[in-house]
Amino acid sequence: MASKFHLQIITPTRTFLDEEIEMVVLRTVEGDMGIMKNHIPMVTPLSIGKLKINKDGSTREAAIAGGFVHVDREKTVIITDSAEWPDEIDVNRAKEAKERAEERLNKGTQDIDTLRAEIALKKAMNRLNLAQRR
C-alpha cells in the first residue's frame, strides 16, 4: 500500500475534495506533474485540464479550470475556479459553450475578446473530453 497524503480541492462554491490519497497527476502551465507524499514544497499555476487522483488502487478523473496548486509537507491544496467529476458535466451545456466560443473566434471582429473566447473553448473542450470518456 502506497503512502497517503492529504489533498484538498477548493472552488469558489464548494470544497470539491478533501481526502487522503496516494497520488494526484495534474496539468501545470509547464506540463503534467505527479504529486505523491513528501513532494518538494511548491506553488505553481495550473492549466485548464484534467487531473487524476489515485487512491486505494483506483483512479478517478476530474476536469478543472486552471488555478493554483500549493504543496507543503502537511498537505496539497488545489484552488480552482471550477472542478467537476465526469458525471457532473452537463454535456449539452458544454457543447453549447464550445459552439459559442468557436463562433466568437470565427467572427474575427475587433469587439470580440479573443483571449476570453479561447479560454472558454479550452474549458468546454476539456469538459467534453472528460465526459465522453466515462
Q: What is the pLDDT of residues 59-83, one digit of tens each?
A: 999 999 999 999 998 899 999 999 9
Amino acid at 9: I
Q: What is the predicted pLDDT for the residue at 73?
A: 86
Domain span at 119: 90-133
70 and 116 in a single domain? The answer is no
CA dihedral 74, 21, 4, 52 (to 10 degrees): -100
pLDDT band, very low/low/confident/very high, at 112 (cuts 50, 70, 90): low
User: What CATH number is attached to the domain comprising 96?
Assistant: 1.20.5.440
pLDDT band, very low/low/confident/very high, at 106 (cuts 50, 70, 90): confident
Q: What is the predicted pLDDT for the residue at 134?
A: 62
Grid cell for residue 80: 480552482
77 and 99 in a single domain? The answer is no
- DSSP H helical ranges for the chain: 91-107, 114-133
80 and 103 in a single domain? The answer is no
Q: What is the pLDDT of residues 114-126, one digit of tens each?
A: 888 889 889 999 9
Number of folded domains that form the chain: 2
100 and 66 in a single domain? The answer is no
Amino acid at 26: L
Q: Is the confidence at residue 55, as pLDDT, over 70?
A: yes
Q: Which helix (H) or strand (E) holds 98?
A: helix 91-107
Residue 50 pairs with which residues in a beta bridge? 63
User: What CATH number is attached to the domain comprising 63?
Assistant: 2.60.15.10
pTM of the model: 0.87
72 and 95 in a single domain? The answer is no
